[in-house]
Each structure stands twice: as structure tokens, then as C-alpha cells.
Structure 1
């Protein structure tokens, strides 16, 4: 069983340490006896005897990854992903009976073949019991651990999915079966490496040495599932299938029942000798999973499992069309004209061989390719072990327009598939946590579940990614450094979001130096006109088709970009509120003053009164909805400019429009302006997702030819259902007070149950004249205010809310 520790272990070891001994663990990393360069896979084993029953607590980690086994049974996978400064270890607790036992681990270090999010300092393995009496018996560097290299692993490039690591090619003929039970030859004493060091001791460490921190997340979901519907079976002419369309005329209908029984776990399946079969399986939802295949026989044959998010109907334009249709489509990899992303297994003919991957695979469609030689192959089991962060939908929402509710499963599933040991932009192509994506994923998390551990980890990871100049990296953890300066600003907004939606003020205080450093970096870029010059780096704002690689006009280094300047004003406004809440009124006043000064400079330079809009460029020829939305959200507009934008934003022609990601900020601006009708109009893109049989929200503007079918930044309508339509938002840090400003737009009614740190908020609203009537139920100890919509220039009524049920009439 995995545990989450409240405090790091070994804080009193060694007793009365000198300054250079502080933070040292009572164990050492161990590695292979010879210096082997990655990629490689290794196994460790330790036989030991217990003289009595006891509860054993173990702290375990590896560089890069491990699977831990006790007496041949897998206890877990890890470690939780971090970096060299925060190299996480996992903690397990098991009850051991008296007698002989075996600990074993499979570890791997893939080096340049690893996912980009995977760091490596020195390949090795570390295990230490919590109990001092067991250190010499079990701890690596003390006990008699043995190690050997596991042969049979090779790795091939991942093509378009550049971020997820190389594909596995596994040769069962070379693999030493039974390592998890300590079997086989070739075991040698493990080589001691450097000691374990605490990440919190600020001690001396070499660049190749890890500093260790307890895992902050629970174990990832590990749920075996019998999944899939057979969509196509054929006997292809070649192993390479990317250019072979899926045609009904080639379907071997007589074999469908056998494959269906296998997928349902009801029967084994025998593939005759000298046979090739291609099977397209529709998992009927998006999954991240470890395939679990058990086979017997089939010596000299191969079994290949490739994954796709969707099939392609035109390999020239990469149009995907309706995601549930397969006829005439191709199982091929975007841009590469290759079969897919997945793993290849060479079979040895042995009995009950368990074919496993080192890392999970994502998608909706699986292509199974089987080739037998002179021996038949029996597939005894084919199932998929779903893995992700254990996040489930705890809130609920309904509305008079049922289409809104139908979007929720897409958004929640996208969030689940992009939530693992970190958030991820997408599970299929990159598996990297980007700050711009993550801000929206955190907001959706806050309205979905009480669990805020993944948002907290995201805040921490971006904080420790910061460069000497103050900026965060755009994505982290990541071996490949990338800088998107506007994403650093979104990270500062994440600090505000967490403070208000969840609290954790002590944790937030630790982020304040980083927040200030980011803002000071941007303020240092101000030119003589008082505007922020575009910094070096990729100044991505949105995937607007009219923009070059997501950069607005003026985004090149040294130029002036209105949307980025408005984003700085927005960030300063949020930071001022954070400083005020954390007892720093002087710093809050400083940020307010700087925000007002920058807003005034923007108005002087970019405001075009004849258009009633802010231009994007200095010449005043290009306008976008992005600039208007950020200006509205900044909070520093004078009333006349705000009113002009409130009219022009929805009527002016030729404005650059946001795509899926930045529509969050458009929706925020619509809420501020009371234009929920405009949100409903733009939600048509999400309603179309269901019509096209998407299972998750997608990445960019064109649903037919976009890259990623699973991008959780597109889940933000779920947030707006609760925070904009129902209007439930925190009025003070930690959600200690509630402000409810319902705006139904054209909806006749809407209701919901929203997770809150103190329990659940329940609301039921129906239209009544220009306002709403209904019920609001707040958790014990929580009060607030309900604000009715404004009528013309007159503000709506403010109704105090008390804990328990409140009737709005």
C-alpha cells in the first residue's frame, strides 16, 4: 500500500551531525557493477528472513523509473516524477509474515530515449526501511543487494509523439524470465553509489547526486479493464500497414467472435502457424493504459500493439473526420506516414509469457498485428490496465439546455487523461506540463474534486523551474528547456487561483518570491513609453490561425505587443490581491500602481476611439478579441473604454478570434460584461465535439485536422458552468466566503452541486424577470453574498447568504 508522508523521514539521522552530514539518509544508491550507458534495463534482488510478523514501511526510488516486487508480486511503479532538486521517493507499507521473503525491482534508465519530462542524474536504485532495526537487513548500500542487466530491450524513435519517449522493441528470446522472483543466473553484488540526501537540508551535493523528497501525490490508478470492440480484422499483405485502408470488404467476419471473446476476457484465442492478422480495436473511450498480454507458443512470431487517438481519412490533409468511423480510413501517424506509436514483441515460444511495456500508452484505437511462424500462438489474456491520477467528478451540473451537460464527460475525461504524476498538455504527443495549459486544468480541478494535491505540485514544479532572470520555464519537468514568457505570467495567476479557491496560505507564501521575480522581470522590460517590450523567447498567446506560431503582432524581441502588455496588467492585478491577502499591503500597493501606469500607457498607445477597441499593433491596423478580453479582465479600464469594448467586442468585423484554449479568457470577459449569450454561441464548438464522437476535448481550431484529440485546456467550459453560469466563486482566500453571481443567458434554469473545501455548495436557479429565483445551500461556517444581474446601468440586488439553505425569491 502506498502512503503519503506528512514529514520527511530520517530527520534525526545521523545524531548530532556536523554541517556536512546534515540531511544524509541511512542508505546509499546502488547500481550495476559496470558503468553501462543508457538506455538499459536492470533488475535488483534481495533475499531476507523475518523472525516475526511486522509491518514493513519502505521508502523507494530509482533513476529513472522502477517497478517494485515483494515475493513476486508487484507493489507499485514509480517514482513520482520530479527533477534532480526534488527527486521524489515513494513509501510503501506491507505486513510481512515470519519466514523468507524476496524484494526485487525492475529499473530502467533510457537517457536520450526517455520522455522529455524524465530527468536522470545517475542511474540507480534506492530502498530504505523506515525502521532503524531493519537498515542493515534491507537498505541499499548496507544489505546484500544483487543486480543484473535485463537483456531483450531495444528502443526506437517515437516519430510525431516526440515527447513521450522511444517505443519499446522487446525480444522474449533474450529476456531472463522470472527476475521478479529472483530467478536466473548472472546476479552480481550491487555497486554502492552516493548516499541518499534530503531535498530540504541545503547541504553540499554534486551535480550527479539526487536530493530526495517524499512523494506528494497518491498512487496512480491501476485498474485492469477488459476493453474494446472489434472494428476490423484482416490478413494484410505486409507488416507495415499505414498505407492500407480499413475496408469492409477485407473484414474477416468469421473471426470476429473469437477476438471479441478474448477482449471480454471470456476465452483464449489461437492464431494458427504462418498467419498474419491485423485487428483494429475501438476502446470506445480515451484511455491511458498499460497493455497486459499473456501468450504461449508462437516461437519466432511477433505481436505488435500500436495506438492512435483517431483514424485518418485523408493522409494528405490529415483530416480525421468523424472519430467513430473507420471505413476507408488509415491507421497512421500524423505527419510520418507510419503505422502508429506503440510496442513490438518478438516471441520465444515459452508458456504463459507476460508481455509488458515500461510505460503506458494513450488513445482510443489499438491496432493489434500478429504474425506467427511455424508454431501456433495462444493469446491467453489481452486487457488494459488504466492509469492516471485518481481524479473523479464530485460536482454536478444540469441546465435547461441539455447540450451543456453533455460536454461535461468530454471535459472530465480530458482532465483525467491529462492528469498523471503531473498535469500534461496531452497524453499522446508530448506528456509535458505547460503553465498555460495547467492554469486552466487547475481551475477545472477546483470545480471537479476536493483533492488539490496535483495543483499544488504544479505550482511547486514551475517555481523550481525558474531561471536566474526570474522567468519560469514554459513546461516542467523537462530536460529540454523552453521559455514562453507569457506562460510565466499565467503561473503567477495560478498562485492567485489556488489562494482563493483552496487557501493553503503557508504554501502560497513560499511561492511569493517567485511571483515577484516573474513580475519584476517583465517590469524591467519597460521602454521609454512605459510599455513592456516583448522579451526574448517564444511569446505564445494562442493558436490563432492569423498569427505566426501563436505569437501576436509585436511579439518579436524588442517590439511592443498589446496582448502581452495587457496580460502583464492582468497579472499585476492578481498579484496585488495575493500580496494583500498575505499581509503585504506595501507590495500590493506597488503592484497596483505599476498596473495602473501600464494600463494608462496602453490606452495612450493602442486605444482607437473610432473603433471602440484596443489595437494589437502600433499602427492600429490589427485588432483581436484577445486584447479586448485581457483589457476587460485587467480591472483598470475607465468606464467609457469598458463600455465601448462591451459593444465593439461583439459587433466589430475582422477581429482575430481565440481558439479553444484562449476562449477561456473570452468567456471570462463575457461574464464580466454580462454577455452569457456570447458564451453559448461559442460553445457550439464543444457541442460539435459530441456530434463528431470525440471522447475528450481537443487542442486547436479545426476539429477535423487538429493534432491532439485530447487537450485538457479545452475542458474549461466545465469550470464556467459553475463559476460563470451558476456564478459561484470565492469571495475571500480559501473560499472562506462565497460570492454567487448567477447569469443564465438564454437558459431558463440551471442547478449544480460544487465541491468546496468545507463540503458542497448546492444551488438551483430559474429565470425570474431580469434576475433569478431559487435555493442556495452553503456548508457549515460558510457565508457570502448573492448578486442579482444588473439591469441597465443599475446594479443588481445583493442578498446576504448564511450557512445552510437560503431561498432566493
Structure 2
């Protein structure tokens, strides 16, 4: 029923219109008159009659979000997340038979209680038919639509999950049951607002939604039976955070019934005046909409809370093995509460379906049930998994099982952190940060042909730029945060896309933003030509290095670090390569000139001749792997270091015992450096941050070394990228991946094989190492050629299979 379009749906209708009507839709946004300030939930309905069968194409959006129902059945969710200038709409083909029909939309606006990533212009709803003949029948602002406030929703803070938006208590005795069928009282005429409009609006306009077609496929929506019942216990209070999980408390006689409820939808009745606590292990990490169907049980309570892991202590300090639950606590960090989730209060009616407006996530689910004077029947308890439909299309094999054990964790963390945007983590923030996203996108390029989410990420970060030229650190976000170095990583992301996927037109559209970011950084140069971060908004996160307060490099307050200055040099050189690819030779020369000058002053300020390393700070008090990596990486893009300097940096990077070490996030740049200097023999040792994850019971990669906040942080998926791009050595030979360069570095491995996606098909590399002798085969898809670099030689490659 959902269809995808790429252009303004009414473009043809605008032809010949007066200039002040250009880009306007035939239908209007509509709203409810008496709901007050957010948060609130509303329902819009339109009952109509068709005198013949018809397929009606409609374009639908809402502020902030909607669910669309046709004749009582949900057919869609939206709107895809964006901002005011990129307000997305979804398109549906309604296949309708002659007779009566009803379209209903549940729409909610949470205001300052919304997720940080949920932006808003003003609350409302729009449904606009493509064919003008149906506008008077079902178009909002034209047809006779009605609206009502949906009662029964109480919004509660999400405690530690501060970025995800308020959770819910749903009061069944106030809820408008069967609203999706248009039933109940209190419906009133809608208030018409502004016309829908696309970004080609010619005249001046007030704050409004500039409409664009949704760019992403349907999110996954599967209600598979998941969850193993670990505990069914009797409790005296619904405040369970201080009660450890004890197998001695388990009521074994009831466990099977709870298991059947979750797996077979076999109804379960809880007697009056009963308290039960049920712990479910979903046995993987899930993002899902909980769905509980109840009958009877007036005055009862059903609470469904989520955790990534249980904690060893009642003050939530350490997690230990994630598979273990005995003696642990279901508790939320910082707040020391019962978990994060939603509560449902049945009214005693039959087949009451409780659903949340947004999904929850984690591995463990605690269900708490408290009944009053009536028995409560749970008809079903389901979890509808949702995420971007990313699947692993590539494959990798090697003779080190530890590497292979990381693959399912890396794939799963990418899946759980990919939705309508990328997310740093689904449990705590659900925000798309540039630094995180660059690593997620690079991994995306190596495992799937689908690049729609990477394209959207690049576009949204471009849209986040401020009047100083720099991007915001995360976007979309209704709360502004600035991490200036992340602006540079966005330029690197543009370069990555050009390299791995091409599309000159798309890259050319990004170049205004690229140039603005770089010129914005030029304004940060001090009299010595060094990038200086003055006092002001700047969350200068770099890496979760132990000893670095808040992830900031030492002496962050001085505003001058080698890390950012070498990053500045690196990104200037990448920008020059972009300009050259697009034929902008003068701009390329400008960026190279600035890069060369920046490299000179950075070397002069931070080089420590005695140590043979770059210091992090001008006072030469602190040293890190980070600075050495960035100094070396800029040489991969035309930069130079004196041979003696380069040699000493490499020696220090590999041998100096007192360097601040990269952790999970920045180790990507360390691995890039190992590949560049031909030392992938060091790769396995530094994979130690990942090798223990499976044994610790984790299903996804984590945010930082223990004790970690987040158990599901997708920047930790980047080793999967390096399996293909650094171990097998498959990388674009030219911008657009029109040729391939394969430079294998097996390190400690003796066998490695991989099949990696490419825009033309798939690349297969099969390698066997025997001492210094490397043998194998390479298979390229039709239309692709390149070079194989082994033992100091370059061998030509062409389409098809070739052995060496």
C-alpha cells in the first residue's frame, strides 16, 4: 500500500499558477482546537462513500507523528524524521471497493517531552490526494474531516534514557477504545491551517512544513515469538529495583503459562489481589513496540520495562556477564529506578489492545502485574520488532574464530542503531551524531548495496549547518549541540560517499556545505595559524579514553590540540580531492595550499623532537595515539612528513608505553593507520576490546570499555569494515569505486575469504598465506577493473575470476 515517489507530487499542477500560489498543495494542514499545549494525542477521521471501486493515491504527514488506519487496520506510520525545511511525507495507494470507508489518523505532539531527535513546526495533520477529483472527498482542509483529543495518555519522564522522549501510562478507563474505527463521542470539525507546500515555495511564508517525499523504505514490523521466561515471582510492591533476581523466588508452576503467552498467544489469567514479576530474556538485542491485549481486570496494572542488562549491585555500578541474572538487579543507572518503559491500566473491558506510540529497546524485559478485585486475563503479549531493514549481504571467513564471533554483534548493533536516522544508541539517546555516523556508514558500504540511509544522513547534517558555517554535532535534533570537530568528520563523510558510491550530482549538492564548514574553521585560526576553540558552545568529545574527563583531550580549555589541527589538515586534503573530481581545480588548489600551511604550523607547534612524537598540547605535556594517527593519515591524501619524522612517529605509536590509547570509537582511526603503514599484524592485539564481548554475553558492541553505559553502540561495528577494507584490503581505486585496489594484509591470519558488495555486484577475495607467500583468487563483477598489490608488485585485475 505504501509507494515511493521522488518529486513534488503536484509539480504539473503548478504550471501556469500565479507566482504566489506556486508549490502549494491542494489540501491544508488541519488541527484540533481545544487540546492546549503539548503533549497530547489526537485522532482525525474522514468517513466517505465511493460509488465505484478506486485506487486513491494520498500523501500523508503529521507534526509530530502519525499512525494511519484504513477501515480499522493500521496501514502506515510516519512521518519520517526530518526538520522544517525537510518535512517528509509518505505516499499510499488506497485500494478501495465501492461503498463506505473510513480513514483515521492517530497523531501526537509531545513538545518538550518529545525525543530530542523529533522536531516540530506546529501540531497538525495533512492528507492530500494525488488526483484532484478526490480532494473534495478526502483531502484535509477541503473535505469534512473531524478530530478529537484522545484521552488516557499520561506522559512520564524516561529517567536515564534522556534523549528518547517521555514514556507512557495509558489509563484504560479514560482511553478512547475503537478510535481507529471512528467510534466514540467528542468528534468536532478540524481547524484548517496553511496549505501544504514543497520547498519550491516562491513567496514569503511563515514557519511551515516544507514537504519532501520520504526517502527510506518501510521500517521492519515483525511480531516474532521472542523471549525466554527467566523468573515468575510473587512481590509485595511494584517497586522492584531493590529486589534481586533470585531463582529461589521462581514460581515454576506458572513459568510454562507465561512462556506460552509470549510464544503462542495462549491466554493467561491472573487472580484478584495478585502481584507478579516476570523477567524475560529476549536472547538478543531488540528494538520493538510492546503490545499487550487484556480482558477484565479493572483496576489492575501491567508494567513493561526494559533493560539492556541487569546490574550486579543495587546502586547499578557494574553489569558483569550479560547472560547472568542470578542475584542481579533490574535497575536504571543514575536514577536507580525500576527500569525504562510503559504502564497499562486496564479498565475491565474485553480485548483491550494496549500499544505504545514509540518503541522501546534492550535485551531484558520485566513485566509487573498487579490485580485488584477482578481477575485479569492477558490475551497476548507481543513485541513488534522495528528497525531499518539492513541485512548482511557480504560475507567474511578467516582462520581466527575470534574475528568471526564479532560479526553477528557488529551486524546486530548496526541494525538496532538504524531507523529513520542512524542512532548512536537506541536505549539512551537515539540521536544521529556525525562522529558515530561516519563509522556506521563506512561499515554500511561494505555490507549492503542499500545506501539510502547514508544519503539521508549526509543531507540532514548538511541541513544542520549554523550561521557560522559549521554543522551541529547531531541532527535532526530540537536541542542544539556543537562539536566543532564533528563538522570536519561530516566533510570526511562526503568524501567517503564520493569514494565508495560516487554520484557527482549528489556530491556537488553537498559542496556548498563542505566549503562553508571549511571556511567556518578558517575563522577559528589564531595568529599562528592553529585551529583554536575559543570559549563558547563546543562539546569537544574525542574518545572515551580513561583519564580524559568527559571524553575531552587534556587541556581542552586552552582550545588548542594537535588532534583537531591534524584532523583539519586531513580533511582539507580530502576536500581538495573532492574539488578535483568535480573539476573545481582552483578550489582544490586553495584547500591544498591551506592544508600545507596548516601542516607546517601544526608540526612546529606539537612536534617533540626528544620523544619523536606529536604532543597533544602546545606545552608538550600529553601524548596520545590519536594525534599520531591523524598526522599519519593525512599523508594518504597527498600530505607529507619527513621520512625521519614518519619513521619515529610509527615507532612511537607502536612502542611508546605512555601514550593515551584509543578506545572503541577512535580505534577505527588506529586501524586505518595500521593499514596505511603496513602493520595489520597489530590488528588482532587491538581487537581485544571486541574479542571478549561474546564471552561476556553481549549481543551488540558497546560504547566504551567496562564499565560501559550503553550495551548497544554502533560505532563499535567498524571492525567489520576493516575485515573487508583493511584485512582483505578491498578499497576504491578511484572516486566512485569505478576501479578497485586490493591490498591484502592478513597479519596473523593464514586464511581469509570475503565477498563484499560493490555498486556493480560483488567482489570476492580468497587468500591463503604461507610464510611470506600469498596465494589466492580475486573475482570482480562485470564492468569493474583494478589492481592487486602484493609483495611490492601491482597486478592488473579485470572482470571475472583471476588467480595469483
TM-score normalised by the chain length of structure 1: 0.97
Separation in 2, partners of 1:518, 1:315:
47
Task: Give the match for residue 227 of structure 1.
Answer: 226
Task: Give the match for residue 563 of structure 1.
Answer: 563
Give the deviation of 1:743 after TM superposition.
0.3
Give the deviation of 1:34 after TM superposition.
2.7
Task: Give the match for residue 684 of structure 1.
Answer: 688
Separation in 2, partners of 1:600, 1:14:
55
Separation in 1, partners of 2:94, 2:683:
52
> What stretches of structure 1 of length at least 5 have no aligned partner?
790-795
Give the deviation of 1:583 after TM superposition.
1.1
- Whether the 8 Å contact between 1:543 and 1:659 is mirrored in structure 2 is yes
Task: Give the match for residue 495 of structure 1.
Answer: 494
Give the deviation of 1:642 after TM superposition.
1.3
Give the deviation of 1:360 after TM superposition.
0.4
Separation in 1, partners of 2:274, 2:488:
57
Task: Give the match for residue 805 of structure 1.
Answer: 801
Counterparts of residues 91-102 of structure 1 (less than 5 Å): 91-102=91-102
Task: Give the match for residue 765 of structure 1.
Answer: 767
Q: Structure 1 stretch 13-22 or stretch 442-451: which is displaced more?
A: 13-22
1:342 aligns with 2:344: no
Task: Give the match for residue 32 of structure 2.
Answer: 32
Aligned residue for 1:589, secondary structure, equals helix
Task: Give the match for residue 140 of structure 2.
Answer: 140
Q: CA RMSD in A?
A: 1.2
- Whether the 8 Å contact between 1:499 and 1:734 is mirrored in structure 2 is yes
Q: Structure 1 stretch 479-488 or stretch 543-552: which is displaced more?
A: 543-552
Give the deviation of 1:768 after TM superposition.
4.1
1:738 aligns with 2:740: yes
Task: Give the match for residue 445 of structure 1.
Answer: 444
- Whether the 8 Å contact between 2:492 and 2:574 is mirrored in structure 1 is yes
Would you identify which runs of 4 or more consecutive aligned residues in structure 1 move more than 4 Å? none
Give the deviation of 1:714 after TM superposition.
0.4
Separation in 2, partners of 1:400, 1:70:
54
Give the deviation of 1:415 after TM superposition.
0.4
Separation in 2, partners of 1:507, 1:4:
19
Task: Give the match for residue 213 of structure 1.
Answer: 212
Separation in 1, partners of 2:203, 2:64:
23
Task: Give the match for residue 719 of structure 1.
Answer: 721
Task: Give the match for residue 784 of structure 1.
Answer: 786
Task: Give the match for residue 664 of structure 2.
Answer: 660
Task: Give the match for residue 642 of structure 1.
Answer: 646
Counterparts of residues 142-221 of structure 1 (less than 5 Å): 142-207=142-207, 209-221=208-220
Separation in 2, partners of 1:33, 1:510:
41
> How far does the alpha carbon of each residue in 1:287-329 deviate from its partner, in whole angstroms, 9 at most, with x for none?
0000121111111101000000000102336100000100010
Separation in 2, partners of 1:594, 1:346:
63
Task: Give the match for residue 355 of structure 1.
Answer: 354
Give the deviation of 1:665 after TM superposition.
0.3
Task: Give the match for residue 128 of structure 1.
Answer: 128
Separation in 2, partners of 1:797, 1:59:
57
Aligned residue for 1:761, secondary structure, equals strand
> How far does the alpha carbon of each residue in 1:715-753 deviate from its partner, in whole angstroms, 9 at most, with x for none?
000000000000001111221100100000010010111
Separation in 1, partners of 2:529, 2:141:
59
Aligned residue for 1:264, secondary structure, equals helix
1:579 aligns with 2:598: no
- Whether the 8 Å contact between 1:539 and 1:556 is mirrored in structure 2 is no
Give the deviation of 1:609 after TM superposition.
2.4
Separation in 2, partners of 1:771, 1:361:
51
Aligned residue for 2:736, secondary structure, equals helix
- Whether the 8 Å contact between 1:153 and 1:169 is mirrored in structure 2 is yes
> How far does the alpha carbon of each residue in 1:333-358 deviate from its partner, in whole angstroms, 9 at most, with x for none?
01111001100111101000101000
Task: Give the match for residue 433 of structure 1.
Answer: 432
Give the deviation of 1:14 after TM superposition.
4.0
- Whether the 8 Å contact between 2:57 and 2:93 is mirrored in structure 1 is yes
Separation in 2, partners of 1:90, 1:681:
48
Aligned residue for 1:121, secondary structure, equals coil
- Whether the 8 Å contact between 2:19 and 2:202 is mirrored in structure 1 is no
> What stretches of structure 2 of length at least 5 have no aligned partner?
none
**Shift in CA distance, 771/533, structure 1 to aligned 2, threshold 3 Å:** farther
Counterparts of residues 233-244 of structure 1 (less than 5 Å): 233-244=232-243
- Whether the 8 Å contact between 1:23 and 1:203 is mirrored in structure 2 is no
> How far does the alpha carbon of each residue in 1:212-250 deviate from its partner, in whole angstroms, 9 at most, with x for none?
111011111111111100111111111110111111111
Give the deviation of 1:78 after TM superposition.
0.6
Task: Give the match for residue 8 of structure 2.
Answer: 8
Separation in 2, partners of 1:597, 1:258:
72
Task: Give the match for residue 792 of structure 1.
Answer: none
Task: Give the match for residue 385 of structure 1.
Answer: 384
- Whether the 8 Å contact between 2:316 and 2:336 is mirrored in structure 1 is no
Counterparts of residues 512-591 of structure 1 (less than 5 Å): 512-535=511-534, 536=536, 537-556=538-557, 559-591=559-591
Separation in 2, partners of 1:751, 1:687:
20
> How far does the alpha carbon of each residue in 1:172-202 deviate from its partner, in whole angstroms, 9 at most, with x for none?
1011111101111111111111111102335
Separation in 2, partners of 1:553, 1:306:
39
1:267 aligns with 2:263: no
Aligned residues: 798
Q: Structure 1 stretch 569-578 or stretch 414-423: which is displaced more?
A: 569-578
Give the deviation of 1:807 after TM superposition.
1.1
Task: Give the match for residue 327 of structure 2.
Answer: 328
Separation in 1, partners of 2:205, 2:662:
47
> How far does the alpha carbon of each residue in 1:456-485 deviate from its partner, in whole angstroms, 9 at most, with x for none?
000000101000100000000111100000
1:710 aligns with 2:728: no
Q: Structure 1 stretch 105-114 or stretch 13-22: which is displaced more?
A: 13-22
TM-score normalised by the chain length of structure 2: 0.98
